[in-house]
Structure 1
């Protein structure tokens, strides 16, 4: 007997005390990063390189479709997104555009507000000749990229390509002007 309590009564509370102790300890640790916790910036976009011969637009100017993405998997991303970008890059290297788009669609399901995911989807859609879909993706990406001017410029360059491909020369020039400011 301890004080006025018998030993069996104290041991009945032992599981409850252990649970409280475990809860207190776990509350002290930082929660794991969630997909939306990763910062999206222009650094999370793939690099571009020039093709040997730039492609002229209908208006005669050179567009940025003559730029080739160096890799779909570049940047600092949530591990699930990075894995999907890697798979999309492997499909891109084999010119399996629909397969690459499938992986990027999965990435967008995880991070629907990630402008870098939307940028990649738009780029692949443009390669597939789906300029209207690319335009819609880029406009959505611009909503989520407003804090990063470099990211917004990259989106505007690709948007200009999508608009040019649809014969919207005036809007394409406006997008290019925004990109060069």
Structure 2
């Protein structure tokens, strides 16, 4: 299957009207739906492609026709036919400016070793799936990471809350509590990202 039918190519060709464009290659289901919703909540243009896409051929085709390439690929590592790590190595050589974020929708925790291996293969990061009991805090950290890689605008917390509420099963009256939880999570994440003066990286 070739990525971007005529409609898709037209969408990408018009994509330069939008600040950033994310291409998802993800199995259908709840995990993919959450990713699509939270990314769109941040005013990102998102296209969700099926797992049988021929991604290298499609990206080469777009480049040959001077069409807009995605700014970031979001790929689920469970898609074995795509061989995500091989794709990362290829992307690093052919499109070095293209960020590739790998996710594993079936995994709740990513170990430091797994993350370092993914980065060694050319991925910008490796993220775990969304957890029902940590949907808000997990959603905040994941979206913040994507925005950081895209050098995009600051997190739009209200829009993200609204997107997450559709999947959390919480009543809208709980929105203030969720917003407070997001604020605490964002603050902790910001503090954790600060490197002490004199630290060796």
Q: Normalised by the size of structure 1, how large is the TM-score?
A: 0.30
Between structures 1 and 2, the one with greater helix share: 1
Q: Normalised by the size of structure 2, how large is the TM-score?
A: 0.28
Which of structures 1 and 2 has the bigger CA Rg? 1
